[in-house]
Structure 1
Amino acid sequence: MASSSANIWVMLGLGLAGTILLMTQKLKKTVKEDFGAFIQKLKLLPPPQPAPPKAPHPLTNLTFAVSDLIDIEGHVTGFGNPDWARTHQAASRTASVVSTLVDGGATCIGKTIIDEMAYSVIGENKHYGTPTNPGVHDRIPGGSCSGAAVSVAANLVDFSLGIDAIGGVRLPSGFCGVIGFRASHGSISQSGIIPISPSLDTIGFCAKDPDVLRRAVHVVMKLQFAAQRSPRQIIIADDCFELIKLPVDQVIQPVIRSTEKLFGRQVLKHENLGAYLSSKVSSLLELSAKKNNNQVKTSTINLLAHMMQSLLRYEFKENHGEWINSVKPDVGASIRALFHEGNVIDESEIQKMHRVKTEMRLALNSLLKDDGLLVIPTFADPPQKVGGKEMSSETYLNRFNSLQSIASLSGCCQVTIPLGYHNKCPLSVSFIAKHGGDRFLLDIVQTMYSNIQEQVEVVSKSKSTSNSYSRERSAELAKEKGNQAFKEKQWQKAIGFYGEAIKLYESNATYYSNRAAAYLELGSFVQAEVDCTKAIELDRKNVKAYLRRGTAREMLGYYKEAIEDFRYALVLEPTNKRAAVSMERLKNLFQ
């Protein structure tokens, strides 16, 4: 009898263990297959390949997915809410952006989950679940186009499509460790796409391979392939990096090192973006004064975050308020809050915000021109744990929105670049180009991407990088103070600032060359010659250092050496009149 009971318990134990094993295997299989990214599987096949000698379709053999706010003929666009899906008919036409990609040779394999009515940046959907972040399973994937980023990160498709109003593609791409691209506002037709906030909405792409991303965008935007241009300047927005609660050196150093290696140090610039915008965007002053927020630096960026949210709320309500009021759907608290009596936005304020948007675009286009990039963090904090409450914090959301607002309000194009992980959480950096600079931005990403990834490895292994960015930034600030003192003809003061910069970052040729210029003004020709020689050792193409050393040597009576310096400056810069005149004068006098 005892033996029989024991056998029963053994059988029950084995059965229970088998059930658990099957459930575990089923769960792993579900996660492995689609990570909860898809809400619907389908297939849109490209047309047959053209007969030779015509070239094959440019996107042949590539697959993609679309977010569930983009129409596909014969399928209901669900907009992340079952009541919306229930009350809307199947689409009569496929969105033009999807048709263009399919005609270009790509195959669409399904629709991906979005946040409810795309009105969130978290990636959670109470109706359809939260897609699993492939890189960090216990962290949110980010929204609103969570499934689009997850489908790419999990290698389920080559690229995916979504809509980015306030970070709907950029944030999930950054959180899931893939490349995210926000196109210039108005550059791609949004026909057949449910609007969220039309003045902010634009098409976004997720991809792992920069070449795949570039090819897909070229097809959609009908861009012509042309010779790639190097950036004239890569501007680091210092005040934006002060916002983040992540290791700054691991975010910025790969970009700095890659820039130095590919384009040279002279391309790098630093800018206080908040101060720049507050000086260029006059309409900000009215809104800033109303909020009693006249601080520079992060406060200006913070104000932009509030503006972006106000525009989103106003336009979302304008587009979908009637449906929500008539259907009374089951929606989340953040959407319900829009319809509280106290939540009314003055239309005159909205008009002011639109003026700010226009001025912001002009200001950033003026700063970046045709061949400049602005570097900012993609997000301020690592993704929270699934089910966490951090995203409900106003401070937490403001840091997120501040960084997203720059491209959203200006309409500029932006790309996010993954930078590996820190404490098992993803890191990402973003490049912004002028409005309409999409091709230039994608070309630069393709040029820099692999080198940035190499530098990520270098930085992660280096123990000395934690303070390098702050030292370099301090050195640049000291140099700028030296430049100001030089302009004010305070030569000794300038020498002191340049000396401080050299102590902080002794391998910068410009610092030595600038100090030499101040020494020349004081008649300290020996010190000027020494500094110029050091500058030339660090940078053989530093024309100013040759000119200044030539001047110092001439004053010291080393005429032959001075002639050689002016001659070499002329080789480097054949149109340099100062070098030509100085060399000819000395040759006529002493040869």
Structure 2
Amino acid sequence: MTPAPLIDPFVPWLPADTAPAEAPAAGTADQDGPVALAGARLAVKDVIDVQGAPTGSGHPLLLAAAAPAPAHAAAVARLLSAGARYAGKTHTDELAYSLGGTNAHYGTPANPAAPGRLTGGSSSGTAAAVAGGLADVGLGTDTAGSIRVPASYCGLYGLRPTHARADRRGIAPLAPSFDTPALLTRTLPLLTEAAAALLADTPRDDRPVRRVLVPADLWGCAADGVRAALRPRADRLGPALGVPLDAAPLFSDGAPCAHADARDAFTLVQAAEVWRAHGPWVRRARPVFGPHVAERLARAERVTPEAEAAARATVARLASWLHHRLDGAILAIPATPTPAPPYGASVPASGDRAALLALTCVAGLGGLPALTLPVARVGGLPVGLCLLGAPGADECLLRTAPALRRSGSAG
């Protein structure tokens, strides 16, 4: 199949006054401490409502049927109230049901940080806009890794907040049990300020970190070069914080199921919810999808109530298990098993996608906050380290990240 053409990150169908505008970059100094959002250019993924603009969700039939949004999504409103300036809406993968960064109808946003490579999806255009300096803050969504994967592939800072801390009103659903608004920036201070705006007045967990988990089972999902580049940085985090490292498998004795079964339970619940959100429209409109999204939707349609109920029970047990394991702990793992795949590759292929989901599903299963840090390069390509914490520990992760820089671990 011919690869979708390379495209600019912003959608082309909005009026001129919503197109990206030139503005001084905000928060570009890579230093610890808060950076005001005043003037920061905000790119918004096209599953998120912006007042007066249609929300296309990555498919032309949905775009054609969409009326202009009557109000900003809650997350957009918070960031604009904090001083950000809207720069435009950005491309997304079809229905946001992909991690590849491609769209069979519109094309593939180019990756400014790794030319000739994919951006990752489904917040693909948002990541491309931020990495290319066309926006300072990217507002996307993360269900199965759609902020963490582009952050890793594009050399960005990315935050998936604790599930339900960030208001999801005004965002097209994919799998509501896992969906959350999420952020991308080029610098940690700006990410911290954007997170403060997005998560203000919501419950947080400020308990101290007592250990850093570097579980062998999750690190085993990454390619050799990625482990070699990232593991020394993760190992230095414990000493930098003055706490011990724990390399025991995350899914060790006592876990509700094996790691692969946890991934499969996540995937099945996600599929059931995707079909609940989009299945009636798919059956009615009979839209055309790219092959990978079409295959996932076909599997989603076949999920039985009995299979969904069993998977939900497993997810509930896993959430409890993960909350126990992450009590007072930070989990440090590769954000992705490889750097960005080449443009035009059939990626993620089944084996690559399975390895990717094995890493990214953990945050969704536990509703955990996850912070991706651009700390290394493999073969000249960016790759991120991901820190996860207990629910509510978003600010703790953001405060912890500078310890990597002080320890000489940050890229």
Could you tell me the TM-score, scaled by structure 2's length?
Answer: 0.88
Measured after TM superposition, the shift of residue 165 of structure 1 is 0.7
| Structure 1: 5+ residue stretches without partners | 1-30, 46-56, 285-299, 458-591
- The aligned runs of 1:168-247 (5 Å cut-off) are 168-223=146-201, 231-247=209-225
- Given that 2:272 and 2:300 are in contact with CA atoms closer than 8 Å, whether structure 1 keeps it comes out as no
After superposition, the Cα gap between the structure-2 partners of 1:449 and 1:146, relative to the gap in structure 1 and judged at 3 Å, is: farther
Q: Which amino acid aligns with 2:283?
A: N
Residue 577 of structure 1 aligns with which residue? none
Which of 352, 359, 372 matches 2:329? 372
Deviations 1:183-222, CA, capped at 9 Å, x for gaps? 1111111111000011111111111211111111111211
C-alpha distance in structure 2 between counterparts of 1:342 and 1:84, whole Å: 19
- Given that 1:185 and 1:412 are in contact with CA atoms closer than 8 Å, whether structure 2 keeps it comes out as yes
Task: Give 3-state SS (helix, strand or coil) of 1:61's partner.
Answer: coil
1:382 aligns with 2:339: yes
Deviations 1:297-348, CA, capped at 9 Å, x for gaps? xxx2222222222122211111111112212222222343356599511212
Residue 325 of structure 1 aligns with which residue? 283
After superposition, the Cα gap between the structure-2 partners of 1:83 and 1:270, relative to the gap in structure 1 and judged at 3 Å, is: same
- The aligned runs of 1:420-459 (5 Å cut-off) are 420-445=376-401, 447-451=402-406, 454-455=408-409
Residue 244 of structure 2 aligns with which residue? 267
Residue 141 of structure 2 aligns with which residue? 163
Deviations 1:148-204, CA, capped at 9 Å, x for gaps? 111111122221111111111110111101111111111111111000011111111
- Given that 1:418 and 1:426 are in contact with CA atoms closer than 8 Å, whether structure 2 keeps it comes out as yes
Which of 89, 97, 113 matches 1:111? 89
Residue 465 of structure 1 aligns with which residue? none
- Provide the aligned length of Structure 1 versus Structure 2: 388
Higher helix share: 1
After superposition, the Cα gap between the structure-2 partners of 1:91 and 1:390, relative to the gap in structure 1 and judged at 3 Å, is: closer
1:418 aligns with 2:374: yes
- Given that 2:156 and 2:185 are in contact with CA atoms closer than 8 Å, whether structure 1 keeps it comes out as yes
Q: Which amino acid aligns with 2:83?
A: G
Task: Give 3-state SS (helix, strand or coil) of 2:51's partner.
Answer: coil
- The aligned runs of 1:135-154 (5 Å cut-off) are 135-154=113-132
Deviations 1:451-484, CA, capped at 9 Å, x for gaps? 36x3356xxxxxxxxxxxxxxxxxxxxxxxxxxx
Deviations 1:374-411, CA, capped at 9 Å, x for gaps? 1111111232211112422x222110110011111111
Measured after TM superposition, the shift of residue 355 of structure 1 is 2.3
- Given that 1:361 and 1:412 are in contact with CA atoms closer than 8 Å, whether structure 2 keeps it comes out as no
Measured after TM superposition, the shift of residue 225 of structure 1 is 12
C-alpha distance in structure 1 between counterparts of 2:308 and 2:163, whole Å: 18
Residue 256 of structure 1 aligns with which residue? 235
Residue 357 of structure 2 aligns with which residue? 401
| Structure 2: 5+ residue stretches without partners | 1-5, 22-34
After superposition, the Cα gap between the structure-2 partners of 1:338 and 1:250, relative to the gap in structure 1 and judged at 3 Å, is: closer
C-alpha distance in structure 2 between counterparts of 1:425 and 1:226, whole Å: 34
- Given that 2:165 and 2:199 are in contact with CA atoms closer than 8 Å, whether structure 1 keeps it comes out as yes
After superposition, the Cα gap between the structure-2 partners of 1:154 and 1:225, relative to the gap in structure 1 and judged at 3 Å, is: farther
Which has the larger Rg? Answer: 1
Please report the RMSD computed on the Cα atoms of aligned residues, expressed in angstroms: 2.6
C-alpha distance in structure 2 between counterparts of 1:255 and 1:356, whole Å: 29
Q: Which amino acid aligns with 1:249?
A: A
C-alpha distance in structure 2 between counterparts of 1:255 and 1:79, whole Å: 36
C-alpha distance in structure 1 between counterparts of 2:295 and 2:206, whole Å: 48
Deviates more, 1:218-227 or 1:244-253: 218-227
C-alpha distance in structure 2 between counterparts of 1:365 and 1:259, whole Å: 20
- The aligned runs of 1:496-575 (5 Å cut-off) are none
- Given that 1:95 and 1:190 are in contact with CA atoms closer than 8 Å, whether structure 2 keeps it comes out as yes
Residue 302 of structure 1 aligns with which residue? 260
- Given that 1:245 and 1:381 are in contact with CA atoms closer than 8 Å, whether structure 2 keeps it comes out as yes
Could you tell me the TM-score, scaled by structure 1's length?
Answer: 0.62
Which of 282, 305, 320 matches 1:347? 305
C-alpha distance in structure 1 between counterparts of 2:48 and 2:330, whole Å: 30
C-alpha distance in structure 1 between counterparts of 2:391 and 2:204, whole Å: 19
- Given that 2:123 and 2:141 are in contact with CA atoms closer than 8 Å, whether structure 1 keeps it comes out as yes
After superposition, the Cα gap between the structure-2 partners of 1:312 and 1:257, relative to the gap in structure 1 and judged at 3 Å, is: same
Measured after TM superposition, the shift of residue 255 of structure 1 is 2.5
C-alpha distance in structure 2 between counterparts of 1:313 and 1:228, whole Å: 34
- The aligned runs of 1:4-19 (5 Å cut-off) are none
Quote the sequence identity (%).
Answer: 25
Q: Which amino acid aligns with 1:255?
A: A
After superposition, the Cα gap between the structure-2 partners of 1:342 and 1:401, relative to the gap in structure 1 and judged at 3 Å, is: closer
Residue 294 of structure 2 aligns with which residue? 336
Q: Which amino acid aligns with 1:326?
A: R
- Given that 1:416 and 1:429 are in contact with CA atoms closer than 8 Å, whether structure 2 keeps it comes out as yes
- Given that 1:80 and 1:115 are in contact with CA atoms closer than 8 Å, whether structure 2 keeps it comes out as yes
- Given that 1:38 and 1:110 are in contact with CA atoms closer than 8 Å, whether structure 2 keeps it comes out as yes
Q: Which amino acid aligns with 1:455?
A: S
After superposition, the Cα gap between the structure-2 partners of 1:339 and 1:232, relative to the gap in structure 1 and judged at 3 Å, is: closer
Q: Which amino acid aligns with 2:374?
A: P
Q: Which amino acid aligns with 1:386?
A: Y
User: Following TM superposition, where does structure 1 have runs of at least 4 consecutive aligned residues deviating by more than 6 angstroms?
Assistant: 224-229
Task: Give 3-state SS (helix, strand or coil) of 1:373's partner.
Answer: strand
Q: Which amino acid aligns with 1:113?
A: H
After superposition, the Cα gap between the structure-2 partners of 1:226 and 1:357, relative to the gap in structure 1 and judged at 3 Å, is: closer
C-alpha distance in structure 2 between counterparts of 1:138 and 1:44, whole Å: 24
Q: Which amino acid aligns with 1:310?
A: L
- Given that 1:230 and 1:444 are in contact with CA atoms closer than 8 Å, whether structure 2 keeps it comes out as no
C-alpha distance in structure 2 between counterparts of 1:156 and 1:341, whole Å: 37
C-alpha distance in structure 2 between counterparts of 1:399 and 1:226, whole Å: 31
After superposition, the Cα gap between the structure-2 partners of 1:121 and 1:62, relative to the gap in structure 1 and judged at 3 Å, is: same
